[in-house]
Amino acid sequence: MDLALIIQTVTLYAIPVLFAITLHEAAHGYVARHFGDPTAYLLGRITANPLKHIDPVGTIAMPLLLYFATAGNFLFGYAKPVPVNFNRLRHPKRDMIWVALAGPGANLIQAVLWLLALYLLHALGTQERFWLDMCRAGVTVNLVMYAFNLFPLPPLDGGRILVGLLPHGPASALARVEPFGFFIVLALVITGLVGAYWLRPLMDVTLSALETLLSPIRLLLL
C-alpha cells in the first residue's frame, strides 16, 4: 500500500471528520440540555474540542485497522456517544426525537457549508486541488454520518427517532433491541446491505436536494 497516498488521504479527511464527529455529538448534548437534561453539559461534552468526543478504539484504532486490512475499501468507526438521561427530559418520548435529530441535523448543515465553500473556491478561481478535494471530502463525510445515523435501529439516532414516533407498545419492543443493535448494524454494514439499500440511496437523494436548493447561489457565484 502506498504510504504517501495513505498520508494524503488522512490529511485530506482529518479536518472534515473531526468537525463532523465533534459537532454531531455536541449537538446532541446541546439539544438535550435545552429540553431539560444537563448531563452532557455537566460532563463538559457540549464543546467543540474534538478530544472530548474521540473514542480511541472507535474513532482511531478501528478505522485505521479496517483501512489497512481492506486496502481502503471498507471503513467503519464511531465517536464517544454523548450521555443523555432521557428521563430528565421534560417530555421524554417527544423530546427524544429532537435530541436524536440534532446529530444528523448538525451533519446536514455542515454538508451545506462544505458545498458552499466548494462553490466559493470555484468562483474565486482556486486551482489548488487539496482544498477543493477537502471540501468534497467534507460533503461526503457529513452525508455519510447523516445517512448512517438515521438508520432506523437503536442505538443509532434513527432508531431513537422511531422509538419516539411509535406508539408505546411497538416503541418498547424496538427499544429492547438496543443492546444488540450495534452488532446487528455492524453485520448489515459488513454484508453491504446498509450501503446498498440505505446509505447510498439516502446520500444520493440528499445531495441532489442540496444541490438543487443551493443552485441559485451557485449560479450567482459562478
Residues acting as catalytic residues: 25
| Burial state string for 114-123 with b = 16 or more CB within 10 A and e = fewer than 16 | bbbbbbebee
Written in H, E and C, the secondary structure of 192-205 is CHHHHHHHHHHHHH
Q: Say which residues have a Cβ less than 8 Å from residue 138's Cβ, sequence separation at least 6.
A: 15, 16, 19, 20, 110, 111, 113, 114, 117
